[in-house]
Amino acid sequence: MRQRIEQEALRLGFTACGFAKAEPVEEEAVQVLDHWVEQGYHAGMGYMERNRELRLDPTLLVPGCRTLIVVALNYYPQRLLPKEGYQIAYYAYGKDYHRVVKDKLHQLLAYIKTIVPEVKGRAFCDTAPLLERYWAVKAGMGFIGRNRTLIIPGQGSYCFLGVLAIDAEVEITEHIEPQHVKFCEGCNRCLKACPTGALTRDGIDCRRCLSYLTIEHRGALPLEVLGKLGRRIYGCDTCQQVCPHNSLPAPTSEPFFAMSPDVASLIYEQWQQLTPEQYAVLFKDSAMERAGYEGLCRNIEAAARKC
């Protein structure tokens, strides 16, 4: 059954698929998460402090679940924005990934029901207290790099993760053995390249992370990061761009992740004169809705000072 589910996942467009037993998170990972929160590295993301019990045990989040099916979906753009223009994180080029990934997971669940009609499940994509990267590693899909992204050997880190929790037992996939996870040893490119020094040995300090500050943060941008914003107006891909595992990224074949021609063609003056009405039309069903109109305008104004 595992092989059939994996084949269907790949047919649906997912680029990797793994299976993990639904069980409490290992104590070492719990300590890492708790330390990260205690250091205040989660910045204004108060939700990382809430629902701790659910986050650390998927069987509490989805009572009765026995297997976690973890999938990855490549989002690396087929065409990049010109370097001389404003920059948007690659993941936000197209449609909101939450909807795209969850829709495919629902299709995968429908397929599983043809094998096990009575099966029940829930789909997640960055939409619940669930440690997706942890479970991706447990499912044998890859390892966590120093930039704290999941790196899939041979594919890199430009991928969205989704999880389908089902109440049926499926044979798990073996996770990558420790001797094969030393791909980051001797490489500090992401740590050195981070514009604000947000990458630490303990994880990402979101209080300095340009991705967090330009998307999640509300209010004025900290003065100490303004000079390091560059042309970024939504997110930051630097730690992934310098990663050797992303040296030859394969563009996504998912049409939903292509940038709208109307957005791609915007010039400086049009960005700076963006109205709420234009914003609502241009970024409807886009991940860029996360920052809000005021947040995006704040970023554009800050970047304009440096361009």
Up-side HSE of residue 198: CA atoms within 13 Å toward CB?
27
Per the annotation, the verdict on 103 as an active-site residue is no
CA angle 42, 48, 53 (to 5 degrees): 145
Q: Among residues 34, 57, 103, 126, which one is catalytic? A: 126
CA angle 294, 295, 298 (to 5 degrees): 85
43: helix, strand or coil? coil
Residue 222 tokens read as 């900290």
The one-letter code for the residue type at 290 is R
Contact by Cβ (8 Å): 277, 103: no
Write out the H or E segment, with its range, that includes residue 110: helix 97-115
- Pairing state between β 203-204 and 199-200: antiparallel
Distance separating alpha carbons of residues 87 and 236, to the nearest angstrom = 8
Number of H helices, E strands in the chain: 14, 10
Distance separating alpha carbons of residues 87 and 233, to the nearest angstrom = 6
Q: Per DSSP, what are the bridge partners of residue 21?
A: 67
Length of the chain: 307
The one-letter code for the residue type at 92 is A
- Active-site positions read 126
